[in-house]
Amino acid sequence: MMLVNAEVCEPRLQLLFTMAERSQSEIVRANLIVALGDLCRRFPNLIEPWTPNLYARLRDTSAKVRTNALNTLSHLILNDMVKVKGQISEMTVCLVDEIDRLNILARRFFHELSQKGNSLYNVVPDIISRLSDPNIGVSEEHFRSIMEFLIPLIVKERLCETLVEKLCARFRTTT
């Protein structure tokens, strides 16, 4: 019903996202992620304020929910239905997930993203900033693994040099 009309969709979004977060059933949570992806495609402006909640499902306790969230977000981002923003750092954590399938899916996503112009290059400074935040809970070892995968995906020498300059500028402003 929610796909039919924005007026039907909007008042029920909070309930849908609450269920995607709190339902006891991992199958319900996993299926709701797919449904939310469909809603995002149909009503992008309605779902846009809720995208942090979609990214939050990448930290769900269920591997099935995390997999559906990663697949859904990958599809939305790579097809330009969701703008790549700082929350993409949540997707980088899947690169070091204990579930191998999630690692593979995340690697494929970032490889494809690196092929889309400067999309990856544009978000790497934000990814580094967010993952460096101790409140995020990414260990130094995981941070290093993530960066060892992401940085080589930026292949243009000029972009690498500019990235180093951007990072150095950020370091200067934080001290």
Cα(first)–Cα(last) distance of the chain, in Å?
A: 52
DSSP three-state, residue 163: helix
pLDDT for the residue numbered 117: 80
Other Cβ atoms closer than 10 A to 169? 11
Q: Residue 125: which of 152, 157, 151, 95 has the closest Cα?
A: 151
1-83: CATH class: mainly alpha
pTM: 0.88
pLDDT at position 28 is: 98
Instruction: Pull the structure tokens for residue 33.
Output: 């992620």
**pLDDT of the residue at 19:** 97
- Per-residue pLDDT tens listing for the chain (175 residues): 778 788 888 999 999 999 999 999 999 999 999 999 999 999 999 999 999 999 999 999 999 999 999 999 999 999 999 988 778 999 999 999 999 999 999 999 999 999 988 888 888 888 888 888 888 888 999 999 999 999 898 866 665 566 666 666 655 566 5
Residues of CATH 1.25.10 domain(s) within the chain? 1-83
Residue 128's nearest CA partner among 173, 86, 162 is 86
| pLDDT for the residue numbered 174 | 60
